[in-house]
Structure 1
Amino acid sequence: MKIAMRSLLGASCALPLFMFTGGGIAAAQEATEAEATDETTIVVTARRRAESLQDTPVAVTVMTGEALERQQIISTTDLDQAAPNLQFAAYGTLTGNNSAAQVFIRGIGQTDATPAVDPGVGVYIDDVYMGRAVGAAMEFRDVDSVQVLRGPQGTLFGRNTIGGAVLITTNAPGEGAGNSIRVGLGEDNLREAYGAFELPIGETLAARVALGLRQRDGYVTRAFDGLDLGDENMYTGQLAVRWTPSDSFEITMRADYTEEDENGSPFVFRSINETAAFPMIQSAAAGCPGSTFPPPVPVPMIDDPRCANDFQALGPFTNGGTAPAFSTLETSGVSLVAEWELNDVLTLKSITSDRHLEWSGARDADNTPLTILHTRYQSRSDQFSQELQALIETDRLSGVVGYYFFDETSFDRLIVPLGGPGTSYDTQRVNLDAEAWAAFTNWTLDLTDALSVSAGVRYTEETKGLQATMFNVAGANTPEPPAPTALCATAAPTAGCLFILTNRFEREFSSTIGSASAQYRFNPGFMAYLSWSQGFKSGGFNQRYNARPQASGEPISFNDETAETYELGFKSNPAPGVRLNGAIFSTEYDDIQLTYRLGVVPLLFNAGVATIEGAEFELAVAPTPDFLLDASLSYLDAGFDSINNPAPIGGVTPTSIATLNSELPFAPEWQAHIGLSYTFHPRSGLLLTPRLDLSYTDSQFFDAGNSASIAQNDAVTVLNGSLALEPEDSRWRIMLSGNNLTDELYPVAGTSSETTATGYAEIIYARPRSFWATLSYRF
């Protein structure tokens, strides 16, 4: 690991020279022609104030709305095609919901989308934090820019940005975005339509409205009933109103609504453990020849639908399940941002937001005709946040002082039909709440015209609460079994009785974290920086059934996890039309919220320490107005240093699914992207632009236990392409696009429970090659 880091350090120092002595392209950054030519046009807000990308001592990838369209990045889950060391996968495991996101930056994130577990990468829309992983896998609509901030962002963005942050900014009224309409048709009955319109109301009041829909058939078919899984059926709308009564004061109100009603995640059968209890029980009950229980006999390896064995596999795009499958989402929000420039030095800013989220998801986890494990989720969350900032700007000193408040309540309902004797149902109804406040400050001092230093600190207090009702009953495969009336006599959930956590259990957390950096501009085209930053991800309670209480009667809880990163980077413009940025880093990742098994139930414990080291380089080249090349390269070395075993709970010892030899999930060693476009002039006034994007992702695991059956065991190279025709003023555009042009077969997510009583493994493969066409018109 240290040898690799020394090699990367040398490479980062030599790369600018190597690039222009015939060595070739080692790394890169997406950009439009204007961005690559003039870095001042790329504005980032990584330090909560607008500044040039090339002056910011943070590893940031920036994509404008125009760049997103050119690269066919239509949703957040496509971002990892262009941003180094980012993995943004949909179809969160366990939930069956298509909008659940698994987001990892530099090997840090979270795979569990339940409300009791917070994300490891913060997703923000127009300065508002999105508190849940469900809903983070979203389509881009009327977007001005997307920023991917890598490394802990705890000082300025707070809790749950331990891996980094994704900042999405939509177009504001009166900022020149104009009016636009886009319609599209494609394979799998793809139909989409979007429109964004400016509504000037008066000299001081302007509004902007955006509406859209997207529909597409799924690409996995259930053999049982022909249901297509992985489909898209989404409607969205947003409204922004800006009031500017003076040059120094403005208020922007935004409201948004999104609705999705789909058939469920495109999981398919991957494998099953024929010696696991539930497969043996259900095979015997179904009449599988040679299968008995009791006595337990491994399921025979014969091709019979009554037998839970690997003959149940139907291929990468056929699902063998029979249980209900669906995915729904309804999310809405209102925000109010007020800015008051008191004078040339001080600006006050207020960000107020209220958001509502409802979602559901159902899946047949074993993906067979048998009832081994099914899940049905229903969840609701309401969040309110308020942030106050005082922004100071002088000739030599700039900074921000802020206060943040967050309040969230969630209700989570889960039914799990299990393939035990007679089929049983684990059911939970959980009320969760979280309240947090933080005070923070960050300052930058220009010691000279070339040398600047920055430092910041943030203090956070957070309270989380849980109250729950849980029961397990036997019964037929009905939509929902009746709740028992008798209370459990034991201090843990027990079959056939009602277990109620009558008290509201509560835990308090607090954290003080900091950041510091120094940057030096050697010349107008080269800046280097050294930074130190910390971040944390909130602790909480395990909410799943069978999460046995501790001796005190309190549910099992887990603490914050933390990360501390040292980073050495540079921002450069070594030649006209060229931008080259890079960084190397080392992160100590402590108190990792690691998944253990208590029986068949996955629970989180603070049990791991890891070291993560790596490097990233980004390049944009636009030597002429017609030629554009953008690329990136990243390296990651992520492994556990130690894993601690929790104490037994209720006489049962939790079992880690990870070992010291395990790799962190969603942490491929190498990742690269290169995009190339050239604009031809077939006739006066017309532009024809072909573009190719090639992305490479090294092998990676999707769980901490490194289950080989659901891993991306081989490196994957994916080719996308487009051909655009438009006039010189870009008033209209016709674009033909294709994804996965070489029709690669590769997994993007999976769940494995092969070592437990359920014994199943399920996997999701990427959508096969697809083509579509869009027509857009601007006015």
Structure 2
Amino acid sequence: MSNFVCRASALAIAFALNSYGAQAANDLALEEILVTAEKRETSLQDTPISILAFSSERLERFGISDLGDIAGLAPNVTITPFPNSRSSLVVFMRGVGNNDSQSTQDPAVGIYLDGVYVARSIGLTSDVADLERIEVLRGPQGTLYGRNTTGGAINLITAKPIDDFAVSQQFSAGNRGYWRSLSKIESGKVGDFAGKISYLESGHDGWVENTGAGKNFGEEEKQAGRAAVRWDLSDALAIDYAYDFSNIDGPQHFYQVTSSPGNALPNTSAERSDSGSWNGGVEPSATEVSGHSLIASLDTPWGVLKSISGYRELAEDIVQDYGGGSPGFKIRVGIEQDQFSQEFQFVGEHGEAWRYVAGIYYFKEHGTEKETDTVPVQTPAPLPANPLVPPSVTTVTLEDRQIYSTSEAYAAYGQLTWSPALLDHRLDVTLGGRYTADERAARKDSAVYFTGGEQSDSATWSNFNPSLTLDYSWTEELSTFAKVVTAYKSGGYNVRSTEDGFTPPFDEEHMVSYELGVKSSWLNNRISVNASAFRAEYEDMQLQQITNNATIFLTDVFNVGEAQIDGFEVDVMAVLMRGLTMQVSYGYTDADFIEYIDQRGGSQTEGENLANQAEMPYAPEHNYTVGLEYMRAVGSASSPMMLNASIDYQWTDERYGTAFNDDMSGFFLDDYGLVNARLALSDISLGRLGLEVALWGRNLTDEEYKVHSISLGAYQAGYFGEQKSYGVDLRLSF
């Protein structure tokens, strides 16, 4: 399928370019894409960052309502649900990320909602009721976005209130009981105020039938809402307030047993199972996320002064069973977290020669976690051993582990761009820097694997991250940039550690990235080609280590050593012919350990460099996406309508879910490709109402692929992605 798409795209380009002279260029230009990646609104083509932007139209076309939905659409970006909780996401960029979701460990890819940092990965699959745009910034963003962006940053930007009154209602339905309702009301400008309310509900029956007690696996109901108000106090001062919430209810996904030595466990199959059960019946899980943001913007003669205040909180209770119907590893976790952040930001310019960004930042969070694990214990068959009678498996429930944590961070940053008149303002020299101080404290209570019952500790880290970028515009259509960027991720504690692994804390990690890039448009902006090549030097890497597959719930985090990551991205947009647009994005990553020191106490290889045996986790070598979209006006001249048809193919190479383990095969994920399509007819006039009808399908070839795989000593388990799905959207607007 992938070769077919590539050949078809190449033929379409050739045909379109040969016929270019016969068509008016001004009808074939790509639309300008505006982004706020550098804290000011700029054209994507003028922003010296490897960036992908998903507009509201593209979000609708791909059916994107939460961050997890962009998995596979942004090359060199890997997004995978965390095994314990489907609401949590494991996000990697260019081979850099964190495959855990503890409140005492920070991610390596920063997530921002309207400029407010979202500290925890829990709840990232929650629906955002009114997204306007998603920006994916690949590569370290240590200067403007700060700590924990060694891999990159993702901006979720919601739609702001508009000046006109408007109402819209969308209904969706599909197979496996899928339904969705999205309601929006715009108040329009009333005096100095404008507001909007968005409310969303959705649900589906899951795609693995539960043959035991309880609901189907993966079955869920979601609710999400957002209220936003804008107050224009004067021509210079505006205040934006927003409140959002999201709830997810339903059982976790089904982990089926994919491999079991001697078939000791029943129902073992490496192929996708459409049904299954949990030992003891399915238990529900629930996630609640909410937040407030208050943004004040003041225009001054020197620039815009902005205050960004944010408060967010979450609560989650989850139950996950990895046994596939047999007694197996089961985990119960209850998590609560709240965070407050305050940022003051100043963005301005002086003539054509100088542009500047400066700010100070404060962040604080509290977290609690309670975890109970049930683990399998294998009992040998009685002697004399009978090979036809496999050993029996029973379970043992461990006592609760309780974790309490706090973290606090302070930062000051600045970025100055000089565009000298000597070179006709074609050259931009940007120098930036950020100083960050972090403090973290953690306490862990456990009477099972801690002889003292309780351990607690606190530590501080600080770092200065400079950056340098040179950007030269050769013409209005062609620019190149070179940059050296640094970033760091703070140290922390592992609350799932062995007794010896909790203290001292693991240390901070560092990243230095060298990058060359080009931004270009051709044939009167009919084609845009953007590309970046990079080398990242990764030091003091923080990596989870499973010390014993029989106790997979106990892991230690070590600063194992160094890695080198080379790669590139190419993003192409082209108008092939009037109404037909193609998008191709390709990413290549060559990520290798240089040093991986085995620090497992008592290991036969303790102290040795195991770099040649380790794999960089979630770092597929190749991934790409190809999309074709066709638009044309249909109907009569007095009642025109718009037809929109699109098809997309996304492919991801094989990868591993862990860096080093005695059983690497249990964490291996094979390559896969997905085909999605949508056909919509919009601008259907119903008096004062407008109607849009759309048919859509996802994974149309019914690809069978694992989303996650895990080794649990006595067996391996994994869960598979959703089968072919299809449905219809109806939207009324007034």
TM-score above 0.5, yes or no: yes
- Residue 70 of structure 1 is aligned with which of 41, 51, 61? 61
Pairing 1:337–2:295 present: yes
- Residue 717 of structure 2 is aligned with which of 762, 766, 769? 762
CA contact (8 A) 1:161 1:537 kept: yes
CA contact (8 A) 1:703 1:751 kept: no
Task: Look up the match of 2:44.
Answer: 53
1:330-350 Cα offsets, whole Å, 9 max, x none, are 11111100010112x222111
Task: Look up the match of 1:529.
Answer: 481
Alpha-carbon shift at residue 88 of structure 1 (Å): 1.4
Q: TM-score, normalised by structure 2?
A: 0.88
2: CA distance, partners of 1:768 / 1:440? 47
Task: Look up the match of 2:669.
Answer: 712
Task: Look up the match of 2:653.
Answer: 698
2:645 is matched by which residue type in structure 1?
Answer: P
1:365-412 Cα offsets, whole Å, 9 max, x none, are 222322x32110000001000001122211211111111100000000
CA contact (8 A) 1:383 1:408 kept: yes
Task: Look up the match of 2:6.
Answer: none
1:615 is matched by which residue type in structure 2?
Answer: F
Inter-CA distance 749–349: structure 2 relative to 1 (3 Å threshold) = same
Give the gaps of 5 or more residues in structure 1.
1-17, 26-32, 275-300, 473-491
Alpha-carbon shift at residue 19 of structure 1 (Å): 12
2:695 is matched by which residue type in structure 1?
Answer: L
Give the gaps of 5 or more residues in structure 2.
1-9, 18-24, 378-393
1:53-96 Cα offsets, whole Å, 9 max, x none, are 11111111011111111233343222133222111122x02x2x
1:516-665 matches, cutoff 5 A:
516-544=468-496, 547-549=498-500, 555-576=503-524, 577-599=526-548, 600=551, 601-622=554-575, 626-646=579-599, 648=601, 659-665=611-617
1:174-253 matches, cutoff 5 A:
174=162, 178-200=166-188, 202-225=190-213, 227-253=215-241
- Residue 393 of structure 1 is aligned with which of 349, 369, 381? 349
Task: Look up the match of 1:83.
Answer: 74
Q: TM-score, normalised by structure 1?
A: 0.83
Inter-CA distance 310–188: structure 2 relative to 1 (3 Å threshold) = closer
Alpha-carbon shift at residue 129 of structure 1 (Å): 0.8
1: CA distance, partners of 2:429 / 2:86? 44
CA contact (8 A) 1:640 1:661 kept: no
Alpha-carbon shift at residue 309 of structure 1 (Å): 6.4
CA contact (8 A) 1:98 1:327 kept: no
CA contact (8 A) 1:104 1:110 kept: yes
Inter-CA distance 653–669: structure 2 relative to 1 (3 Å threshold) = closer
DSSP 3-state at the match of 1:542: coil
Alpha-carbon shift at residue 750 of structure 1 (Å): 2.2
Task: Look up the match of 1:667.
Answer: 619
CA contact (8 A) 2:467 2:484 kept: yes
CA contact (8 A) 1:454 1:517 kept: yes
Pairing 1:256–2:244 present: yes
1:464-499 Cα offsets, whole Å, 9 max, x none, are 001221123xxxxxxxxxxxxxxxxxxx614xxx71
DSSP 3-state at the match of 1:161: coil
DSSP 3-state at the match of 2:71: helix
2: CA distance, partners of 1:625 / 1:778? 28
Across the aligned residues of Structure 1 and Structure 2, the Cα RMSD in angstroms comes to: 2.8
Task: Look up the match of 1:511.
Answer: 463
- Residue 686 of structure 1 is aligned with which of 625, 630, 641? 641
Inter-CA distance 688–657: structure 2 relative to 1 (3 Å threshold) = farther
Task: Look up the match of 2:681.
Answer: 725
1: CA distance, partners of 2:732 / 2:494? 50
1: CA distance, partners of 2:613 / 2:163? 52
Task: Look up the match of 2:126.
Answer: 138
2:509 is matched by which residue type in structure 1?
Answer: E
1: CA distance, partners of 2:607 / 2:721? 31
Task: Look up the match of 1:152.
Answer: 140
Task: Look up the match of 2:432.
Answer: 456
DSSP 3-state at the match of 1:54: helix
1:547 is matched by which residue type in structure 2?
Answer: T
DSSP 3-state at the match of 1:230: coil
DSSP 3-state at the match of 1:622: strand
DSSP 3-state at the match of 1:77: helix
- Residue 308 of structure 2 is aligned with which of 339, 347, 351? 351
1:516-537 Cα offsets, whole Å, 9 max, x none, are 1001111111011001111122
Inter-CA distance 338–455: structure 2 relative to 1 (3 Å threshold) = same
- Residue 433 of structure 1 is aligned with which of 390, 397, 406? 406
- Residue 677 of structure 1 is aligned with which of 620, 623, 629? 629
DSSP 3-state at the match of 1:660: helix
CA contact (8 A) 2:214 2:283 kept: no
2: CA distance, partners of 1:64 / 1:201? 24
2: CA distance, partners of 1:579 / 1:731? 33
1: CA distance, partners of 2:487 / 2:657? 23
Alpha-carbon shift at residue 451 of structure 1 (Å): 0.8
CA contact (8 A) 1:325 1:364 kept: no
1:156-167 matches, cutoff 5 A:
156-167=144-155
2: CA distance, partners of 1:260 / 1:430? 24
The size of the alignment, in residue pairs, is 684
CA contact (8 A) 1:658 1:704 kept: no
Inter-CA distance 189–733: structure 2 relative to 1 (3 Å threshold) = same
Q: Answer with 727-736 or 530-539: which moved more.
A: 727-736
Percent identity, aligned pairs only?
A: 28
1: CA distance, partners of 2:298 / 2:326? 62
Task: Look up the match of 2:371.
Answer: 414
